[in-house]
């Protein structure tokens, strides 16, 4: 499904299409800066670096811990086995989601750097052309009925395929330049048997994201009726509700 190689203490995973090109330099933002190939950044918990190489525009992201643990260990994780690392699991999941025909960025490569019982990680994914997050759009304008429907049907399609997203929020739902909806960031995501319990928990997390961002942003083109419309369309698209 994807290639794996070891270079010194680094385990490299790569999409077969890019395996011959990948080197350790690819996971170093300074390397791309020196070549003047950085074309953008996005701030979140940490900086995501957008770089352009040949015909590929990609996003480089380092794995950082959140919460109280993150203040102590920052980017360090306990290493037991490569297949148990969050890096490997996210990369493998995204490869499966691509195969299922779901709208996710193509995974390009990932690096797991092992030092004794500790590992650190990085992942590179293909950038989504003309991407705007749902939050970015709502700061500017209202969603159209078609856009609400597309979001609802996209989430339902993921749920119908048993895709659990650990952090479904407004920043992880993107529109591409053609108006198609993509979902990103599958760290700690997994495939599960479709069930209302976890599906509803995913939607409740998204609802909390809307409420949180409404309180944080002075201008937000979103109202309760929009959520009701989105949620109704989502429910009608779930297989077990048909």
Higher pLDDT, 44 or 175: 175
| DSSP helix/strand/coil, 86 | helix
**Among the listed ranges 185-189, 192-196, 201-205, 236-240, which one has the minimum average pLDDT value?**
236-240
State the pLDDT at residue 70: 45
pLDDT tens for each residue of 77-133: 999 999 999 999 999 999 999 999 999 999 999 999 999 999 999 999 999 999 999
Residue 167 designated active-site: yes
State the pLDDT at residue 67: 58
State the pLDDT at residue 173: 98
Rounded to an integer, the average pLDDT of 158-177 is 97
The pTM of this model reads 0.94
pLDDT tens for each residue of 147-161: 999 999 999 999 999
Domain ranges of the chain: 3-126, 132-241
In CATH, the number for domain 132-241 is 1.10.510.10
Residue that is written with structure tokens 């960025």 in the block = 105
**Integer CA distances (angstroms), 157 to 2, 47, 240, in order:** 24, 30, 12
In CATH, the number for domain 3-126 is 3.30.200
Question: Of 36, 75, 136, 167, which one is the catalytic site residue?
Answer: 167
């Amino acid at each position: 499904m994807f290639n794996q190689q070891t270079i010194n203490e680094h385990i490299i995973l790569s999409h077969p299409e890019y395996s011959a090109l990948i080197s350790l330099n690819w996971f170093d933002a300074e390397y791309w800066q020196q070549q003047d190939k950085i074309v953008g950044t996005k701030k979140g918990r940490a900086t995501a670096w957008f770089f352009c190489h040949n015909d590929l525009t990609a996003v480089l992201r380092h794995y950082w811990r959140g919460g109280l643990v993150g203040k102590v260990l920052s980017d360090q994780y306990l290493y037991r086995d490569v297949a148990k690392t969050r890096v490997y699991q996210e990369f493998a999941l995204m490869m499966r989601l691509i195969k299922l025909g779901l709208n996710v960025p193509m995974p390009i490569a990932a690096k797991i750097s092992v030092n004794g019982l500790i590992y650190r990680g990085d992942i590179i994914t293909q950038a989504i052309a003309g991407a705007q997050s749902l939050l970015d759009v709502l700061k500017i304008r209202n969603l159209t009925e078609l856009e609400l429907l597309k979001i609802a049907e996209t989430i339902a399609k993921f749920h119908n395929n048993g895709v659990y997203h650990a952090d479904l929020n407004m920043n992880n739902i993107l529109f591409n330049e053609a108006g198609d909806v993509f979902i990103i960031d599958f760290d700690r995501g997994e495939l599960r048997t479709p069930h209302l319990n976890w599906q509803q928990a995913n939607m409740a997390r998204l609802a909390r994201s809307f409420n949180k961002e409404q309180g944080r942003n002075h201008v937000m083109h979103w109202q309760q009726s929009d959520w009701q419309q989105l949620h109704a369309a989502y429910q009608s698209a779930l297989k077990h509700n048909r």
